[in-house]
Chain A
Amino acid sequence: MLLIGGVVAAVVAGRESGDKGTATKTVRAVIGSEKAEFFADPDVVKALAAKGYTVRTETSGSWAMEELDLKGYDFAFPSSKAPADELAATYEARQPLPRPFYSPLVVVAHRRSAEVLAAGGMATLDGEHRGTLKMAAYLDAARADKTWQQLKGAEKYGELTGTLYIASTDPETSNSGALYLAAASYVEGGGRVAASDKDVEATAPLMRKLVSVQGAQQSSTDAAFRDFVSGAGNPLVLVYESQVAAMLGQGTGAGVDDLTVLYPDTTTNSDHTVVPLTEDGRALGELLSSDPELRQLAVRHGFRPQGATAEFTSATAAHTAYLNQKLTGVRQAPVPTSAVLHDMARRAGS
């Protein structure tokens, strides 16, 4: 029955683009949850159909994709390079892998928690909705089990109690949680990327603390962001910038008027990487990277297309109060190899 959707899409798109006679191929993909809305966007469906594709997606944690049987799929689309490399090795996908777009990790907070953090020396605020999280100071606080109650100004807000921590997804299954550890371990390691057992060992106690304090973690970044939007959840939540940008772009920010976006001064980029499992999958990955319309649509969903920055900058011009367009003052931490990162996540969670 799935064919119906494909056929209908082709008919509609064919009529509008005048591309009559183009047969569409149905391409199956397993993707990170944060890209689900991109692929479900009717304009994306249309743009893909115009190029002859109907894409059927399922979501999964990026690291959990390894557990899936990907037979019958045309591509996997995890949210960063490390799990993509691992999948590419397993399924013998040819390098280089298409990396159509990326997005840095950010921390979303409500204004009052951002202010308390700033007063405590862990953040600077550049405006009403934007600031920088000082990772080293934050990690010091985490190491010392600092609570919100110990920070000046927190006493005014009942919800600011308990141990201060950034809520992330489960680093063993989900990409953003793993990238959080990548950035934190980079800072903890004195600006050096963990490359060996010994490096992992050295940062393990702090990493374990960052994870264990959270209790049960969400398995997807989408879920973590939804919790924040619905008013539940933690004062500080690690998400992708793309999720925030997409929400702002859709003008659907009414529910979170006091949203403040904190860019960690050392962060990691989520490099959304296509792992082609078939030739159709590869062609689609390349199309996402090169097609101007699809790049534009990726921007609509908050992603930064690889290469030129102009598309993102102009599309988000209205939201500079929230977004640090040029990532000023933000350093990109390199991500450890997949094996090291895996090991780091496993030890942090044990």
Chain B
Amino acid sequence: MRRFTALLTVALLATACTAQDDKDPDSPEPGTLRVLASSELADMTPVLDRVEQDTGIKVEAGYMGALDAVDLLAKGGTDGKYDALWLSSNDYLRLRPEATKKIVSETPVMSSPVAIGVKPDTVRKLGWKPSDVTWSQVEQAVRDGELTYGMTDPARSNSGFATLVSVASALSGAQSALTDADVDEATPRLKEFFQGQRLTSGSSGWLAAAYERRGDVDAMLNYESVLKGIPGLTVIRPSDGVVTADYPVSSLASTDADTRENVRRLAEALRGPDMQKEITDLTHRRPVVASVTPGAGLDTGRRRELPFPGSRSVADGLLDAYENELRRPSRTVYVLDTSGSMEGERLARLKTALTGLTGDFREREEVTLMPFGSDVKSVRTHVVDPANPRSGLDAIRKDTAALTAEGDTAIFTSLEKAYDHLGAGQDTFTSIVLMTDGENTAGAEADEFDAFYAGLDRDRRETPVFPILFGDSDRSELEHIADLTGGRLFDAQKGSLDGAFEEIRGYQ
């Protein structure tokens, strides 16, 4: 029906002056908006399809974490490439004046608070009353070893960052917006709290999958909307306060007036009562229109809204503390194909990508380089020591520069050696990154690796492999490795190798 209406308008256009039909004045206008969006918004696709039917406005979303998006915006990287911005929240954006200047209007279209989703068994065991749980109780349960959880990486995901702010504000005991002093004072408690974190992820989707696969993690911290979408979780909004995302559709100063008009119409359409109803029923977010009641299961009890830090130094300081001090460190083995086929440009790209990555390694992080050809060529482990971070990073750069291409491609034998090297978890986030430009041509076969993996004890099977598709590597072979080990495949054939390495950081 709606498609038909769209056609009608075109007809009307041609004969506008004499048209005598019953068209309503809100006629659809064509137009595609390229929207830089938070990845959580992928669940809005059915709603956006309806918006397109109703208004003719098509949204082409490019997904990115909030901090990266704000950075891109501030540096002018969105100019001419995107028509609108749609993050889960503009709170962080407001701390960057260069980014704020690029925004013309902001229209919040729905909301979702940070929450904790807990297995019903755990809720019972802890004796919690879901309507009445505080962050301090969550902290106590973690300290008593009775609660483990997963959350997304605050540096790469909006949900992770909002979670970090919620936890820090609540546990610091700050009565108003966080200050640097509050963060310092709360550091010991926060450190203890993050000991309970068993899963980290660059995206909410993978976090949910990993949670299900692991089976032994008790809870997840994320937006209420994400948690409500996972069956079997008791979703708790801590009673001492949360940070809420309000999803503002934002128009950009770099675009023309016609584009901004379409952005306005997009926001207006999303705020229509029917659309609000669909949003809350489908995505478990809360409506921003008073006449629409929140979807089933969304408890309307009031919660304190924890203030978001008012300065960039506090926000960035908190993030920095999380990465380098509060969270459990990561241990990673980089299994790097340096077979003969990598000779030349491919090896050069690998070296550039790895060198670039050294700017991103966190303090306390353990990095092992394991280049391979017909077999593993060397095993070099470096730790980024907080007392002297440069020496570890320099050593990684030096080892990277010395890589040479030679030999066949022993993917599975090398992976087995990586697992042997890592051993048990040691209270870290442990993972293996596999970069290869070809198929397995030497050493163990795929089925031998499957048997090897099946023979590992439970703890060691928790180490995922994140393969990177590059050069002539075999997608199905790598996909199998990712599926088997609970990792995720990253594509550097379509995207860049630097980009793939960088994206994997969110999972380490």
**B25 near A8: Cβ-Cβ < 8 Å:** yes
Q: How far is the CB of B292 from chain A (nearest CB, A)?
A: 7
Task: List, in ascending order, chain A residues with CB within 8 A of B66's CB.
Answer: none
Q: Is A314 an interface residue (CB 8 A)?
A: no
**A60 near B302: Cβ-Cβ < 8 Å:** no
Q: Is B329 an interface residue (CB 8 A)?
A: no
1/0 per residue A1-23: CB within 8 Å of B? 11011011101110100000000
**A234 near B305: Cβ-Cβ < 8 Å:** yes
Q: How far is the CB of B321 from chain A (nearest CB, A)?
A: 17
CA A233 – CA B245 in complex, angstroms? 10
Q: Which segment of B260-268, B335-343, B417-425 sits at the interface?
A: B260-268
**B288 near A230: Cβ-Cβ < 8 Å:** yes
Question: Using a CB-CB cutoff of 8 Å, which residues 145-185 of chain A contact chain B?
Answer: 145, 147, 157-163, 165, 170, 173
**A2 near B286: Cβ-Cβ < 8 Å:** no
1/0 per residue A47-85: CB within 8 Å of B? 000000000111110001001100010000000000000
Q: Is B278 an interface residue (CB 8 A)?
A: no
Q: How far is the CB of B5 from chain A (nearest CB, A)?
A: 12
Question: Using a CB-CB cutoff of 8 Å, which residues 1-45 of chain B contact chain A?
Answer: 9, 12-13, 16-17, 19-20, 23-27, 29-31
Given the interface pairs A59-B105, A161-B304, A232-B111, the reply to whether A212 lies near B240 with Cβ below 8 Å is: no
**A58 near B257: Cβ-Cβ < 8 Å:** yes
Q: How far is the CB of A83 from chain B (nearest CB, A)?
A: 15
Q: Is B258 an interface residue (CB 8 A)?
A: yes
Tell me which of A8, A46, A163, A231 contacts B23 (CB under 8 A): A8
Task: List, in ascending order, chain B residues with CB within 8 A of A232's CB.
Answer: 111, 113, 244, 246, 286, 303, 305
Given the interface pairs A252-B290, A252-B291, the reply to whether A7 lies near B302 with Cβ below 8 Å is: no
**A213 near B177: Cβ-Cβ < 8 Å:** yes
CA A12 – CA B104 in complex, angstroms? 31
Q: How far is the CB of B54 from chain A (nearest CB, A)?
A: 14
Q: Which segment of A96-104, A124-132, A221-229, A325-333 sits at the interface?
A: A221-229
Tell me which of A214, A216, A254 contacts B95 (CB under 8 A): A216
Q: How far is the CB of A208 from chain B (nearest CB, A)?
A: 11
Q: Is A307 an interface residue (CB 8 A)?
A: no
Given the interface pairs A7-B16, A145-B175, A161-B304, the reply to whether A215 lies near B107 with Cβ below 8 Å is: no
CA A60 – CA B306 in complex, angstroms? 26
**A227 near B257: Cβ-Cβ < 8 Å:** no
Nearest to A162 among chain B residues (CB) is: B175
CA A213 – CA B177 in complex, angstroms? 5
Task: List, in ascending order, chain B residues with CB within 8 A of A170's CB.
Answer: 94
Q: Is B132 an interface residue (CB 8 A)?
A: yes
**B244 near A215: Cβ-Cβ < 8 Å:** no
Q: How far is the CB of A57 from chain B (nearest CB, A)?
A: 7
Nearest to A157 among chain B residues (CB) is: B302
**B261 near A58: Cβ-Cβ < 8 Å:** yes
Question: Using a CB-CB cutoff of 8 Å, which residues 309-349 of chain B contact chain A?
Answer: 309-310
**B304 near A4: Cβ-Cβ < 8 Å:** no
Nearest to B21 among chain A residues (CB) is: A11
Nearest to B20 among chain A residues (CB) is: A15
Tell me which of A216, A226, A229 contacts B310 (CB under 8 A): A216
Task: List, in ascending order, chain B residues with CB within 8 A of A45's CB.
Answer: 25
**B107 near A222: Cβ-Cβ < 8 Å:** yes
Task: List, in ascending order, chain A residues with CB within 8 A of B27's CB.
Answer: 4-5, 8
Task: List, in ascending order, chain A residues with CB within 8 A of B90's CB.
Answer: 219
Question: Using a CB-CB cutoff of 8 Å, which residues 202-244 of chain A contact chain B?
Answer: 211-217, 219-220, 222-223, 226-227, 229-235
**B104 near A68: Cβ-Cβ < 8 Å:** yes
Q: How far is the CB of B110 from chain A (nearest CB, A)?
A: 7
**A161 near B241: Cβ-Cβ < 8 Å:** yes
Nearest to B91 among chain A residues (CB) is: A216
1/0 per residue A250-292: CB within 8 Å of B? 1111111000000000000000000000000000000000000
**A229 near B105: Cβ-Cβ < 8 Å:** no
CA A57 – CA B105 in complex, angstroms? 11
Task: List, in ascending order, chain B residues with CB within 8 A of A121's CB.
Answer: none
Q: Is B120 an interface residue (CB 8 A)?
A: no
CA A1 – CA B300 in complex, angstroms? 42
Task: List, in ascending order, chain B residues with CB within 8 A of A59's CB.
Answer: 104-105, 107, 264
CA A205 – CA B258 in complex, angstroms? 44
**A56 near B261: Cβ-Cβ < 8 Å:** yes
Tell me which of A4, A56, A230 contacts B29 (CB under 8 A): A4
**A229 near B30: Cβ-Cβ < 8 Å:** no
**A220 near B291: Cβ-Cβ < 8 Å:** no
Number of chain B interface residues as a range: 35 or more
Nearest to B18 among chain A residues (CB) is: A11
Q: How far is the CB of A175 from chain B (nearest CB, A)?
A: 14
**A60 near B293: Cβ-Cβ < 8 Å:** no
Tell me which of A2, A40, A211, A220 contacts B268 (CB under 8 A): A40
Q: Is A247 an interface residue (CB 8 A)?
A: yes
Q: How far is the CB of B278 from chain A (nearest CB, A)?
A: 16
**A213 near B304: Cβ-Cβ < 8 Å:** no
Nearest to B104 among chain A residues (CB) is: A60
CA A276 – CA B118 in complex, angstroms? 57
Q: Is B194 an interface residue (CB 8 A)?
A: no
Task: List, in ascending order, chain A residues with CB within 8 A of B24's CB.
Answer: 12
Task: List, in ascending order, chain B residues with CB within 8 A of A11's CB.
Answer: 16-17, 19
Tell me which of B12, B261, B290, B300 contacts A8 (CB under 8 A): B12
Q: Is B287 an interface residue (CB 8 A)?
A: yes
CA A70 – CA B101 in complex, angstroms? 15
Q: Is A316 an interface residue (CB 8 A)?
A: no
Q: Is B150 an interface residue (CB 8 A)?
A: no
Question: Using a CB-CB cutoff of 8 Å, which residues 71-125 of chain B contact chain A?
Answer: 90-92, 94-95, 100-101, 103-108, 110-111, 113
**B304 near A158: Cβ-Cβ < 8 Å:** yes
Q: Is A33 an interface residue (CB 8 A)?
A: yes
Task: List, in ascending order, chain A residues with CB within 8 A of B400's CB.
Answer: none
Q: How far is the CB of A291 from chain B (nearest CB, A)?
A: 19
Task: List, in ascending order, chain A residues with CB within 8 A of B257's CB.
Answer: 2, 28, 56, 58, 72
Q: How far is the CB of A154 from chain B (nearest CB, A)?
A: 11
Q: Which of A11, A58, A162, A250 has the most CB of B within 10 A?
A: A162
Q: Is B253 an interface residue (CB 8 A)?
A: yes
Question: Using a CB-CB cutoff of 8 Å, which residues 463-478 of chain B contact chain A?
Answer: none
Task: List, in ascending order, chain B residues with CB within 8 A of A301's CB.
Answer: none
CA A68 – CA B251 in complex, angstroms? 13
Task: List, in ascending order, chain B residues with CB within 8 A of A2's CB.
Answer: 29, 257-258, 261
Q: Is A300 an interface residue (CB 8 A)?
A: no
Q: Is A110 an interface residue (CB 8 A)?
A: yes
**B309 near A216: Cβ-Cβ < 8 Å:** yes
Q: Which of B23, B246, B290 has the most CB of A within 10 A?
A: B290
Tell me which of B175, B239, B261, B308 contacts A159 (CB under 8 A): B239
**A230 near B291: Cβ-Cβ < 8 Å:** no
Task: List, in ascending order, chain B residues with CB within 8 A of A223's CB.
Answer: 106-108, 246, 248
Q: B residues bordering A, Cβ < 8 Å?
A: 9, 12-13, 16-17, 19-20, 23-27, 29-31, 90-92, 94-95, 100-101, 103-108, 110-111, 113, 132, 175-178, 239-241, 244, 246, 248, 251, 253, 257-258, 260-261, 264, 268, 286-294, 300, 302-310
**Can you sample 14 A-B contacts with CB below 8 Å?**
A2-B258, A12-B24, A33-B107, A42-B25, A58-B105, A145-B175, A212-B177, A215-B310, A216-B177, A229-B289, A230-B246, A231-B302, A255-B290, A255-B291
The 7 A-B residue pairs whose C-beta atoms are closest, nearest first, are A215-B177, A215-B307, A252-B291, A255-B290, A232-B244, A158-B239, A59-B105
Known A214-B177, A216-B308, A255-B293; further 13 A-B contacts with Cβ < 8 A? A11-B16, A28-B257, A58-B264, A158-B132, A159-B304, A161-B175, A161-B240, A170-B94, A220-B105, A226-B246, A227-B108, A227-B244, A255-B287
